[in-house]
A and B are shown apart, each in its own frame.
Chain A
Amino acid sequence: MSIVAEHPVTCGLTGSDVPYAADRITAFSPEWVALARGDQSGDASLLVAEVGAGRAAVDASHNSKLALRPESDRFLERLGRWLMRSLP
């Protein structure tokens, strides 16, 4: 997975931390920012957006730790903190 390092959600993480492109996000409007993409497909696996006063994220991986490629806890924490506006 390739990630955008210059974002509070994904900075300091590696490709193995972020959502695996199980379901591929193949198209999205410019309001969304893709923070993780599959190395080969180029399809996004994580989108974030500022929407009005709030924030939203679309995560293409499974939420369970039982998944074959679970997203890491430290990723989920960063994402959650960002969504709760505890990260810039």
Chain B
Amino acid sequence: MVGAEVKPSGLGPAALLGGLAVAAVSGCGARTELELAVRDDHDADASVVRDAAPLFDRHHRDREPDAAGDAGVVDRMGPVDGDSRDEVKAPEDGAKDATFDAGRDSPSEARDASIIDVARDSFPEARSDAAIDVARDSPPEAPDASDGANVEDTATETAVDGSFDGSTCDMLGQPARRFKIGVVESPAGVSYVLPDGGTIEAIADCSNRMTSVFGSYADVERIPLSAIDDRLPRYDLVVLCSDWAEYDWTSISPHAPAFTGYVTGGGGLLMYQPIRR
């Protein structure tokens, strides 16, 4: 099956005890691992530092050999999920074919990929006109964030205390202030084909999605790769869009300490598909 070769994180016991969070993600015959360091004492052991410091690390140590078709632009066009990704890739994957075939023969959510429930995209929470109007008319408190204030400084303003008791399940009230969301400009230069034959830049598509969902109470802006180290703290939420790892891993992974520091300092990080084919 796709990604059947599951391996442990590879972290040493010391790192695990230190609270590392690691995920292995598989798809299209490739896999990656990423991590967030939450330890404060990681520089006590050089080997642990190597494990703990990067937000994204040890990608594709067990990656299957690249096939010539991997780099095809056509493969990368269009948002791909489940079967669609496999279907595009499989014929050209050469050495990966066996993996894909096995995956398709095994139980897979991919078989349900074509089932689209349009109704699920209605948004009953905070999506009425009245709710949006309230958001627009409420005093914006965004300057706290847009002025570059550290998320850590403002997090307490919006933090909801207490553990989850189910009472917040069906309602998302308006936040006490406007949020600021940063979308890392990745993948750069990648476009998707629209149903009408037109194209849209992947980063624009991602940024537009964030604006459509959060725009009534959040400002969404792009974060140039060159500004990652400096800008992250000003955002309440930072988004790494799909395909960032495939196209810009080498550009983004060196900024792992900035991402880690941002999160441990109180920021929120949403990372889509951190996998490199």
A77 and B24 contacting across the interface, CB-CB below 8 Å: no
Residue of A nearest to B167 (CB): A88
Q: Which of B36, B79, B106, B206 contacts A56 (CB 8 A)?
A: B36
Assess whether B172 is in contact with A51, with CB atoms less than 8 Å apart: no
> Which residues of chain B are within 8 angstroms of A64 by Cβ–Cβ distance?
79, 192, 202, 205-206, 209, 242
Please indicate the chain A residues that have their CB under 8 angstroms from the CB of B163 in the complex: 88
- Determine how close the nearest CB of chain A comes to the CB of B244; give it in whole angstroms: 10
Name A's interface SS: loop
Residues of A with C-beta under 8 A to B38: 31, 51-52
Cβ–Cβ < 8 Å partners of B202 in chain A: 64
- Let me know if A76 and B213 touch, CB within 8 A: yes
Q: Which of B206-260 contact A (CB under 8 A)?
A: 206, 209-210, 212-214, 236-237, 239, 241-242
B81: A residues at CB distance < 8 A? 20, 22, 61-62, 67-69
Q: Which residues B93-133 have CB closer than 8 A to chain A? A: 106-110, 112-117, 120-127
Q: Judge whether A63 and B27 touch: CB under 8 Å.
A: no
Min C-beta distance of A34 to chain B, whole Å? 9
Question: Min CB distance, A19 to chain B, in Å?
Answer: 9
What sequence of 0s and 1s flags, for each residue 49-76 of chain B, a beta carbon within 8 Å of any chain A beta carbon? 0000000000000000000000000000
- Does A58 lie within 8 Å of B23, measured CB to CB? yes
The 0/1 profile, CB within 8 Å of B marked 1, for residues 15-36 of chain A is 0110011111111110110000
Add 10 more A-B contacts to A20-B82, A74-B125 (CB < 8 A): A8-B168, A22-B110, A51-B38, A59-B271, A64-B205, A69-B113, A74-B124, A84-B158, A84-B179, A85-B159
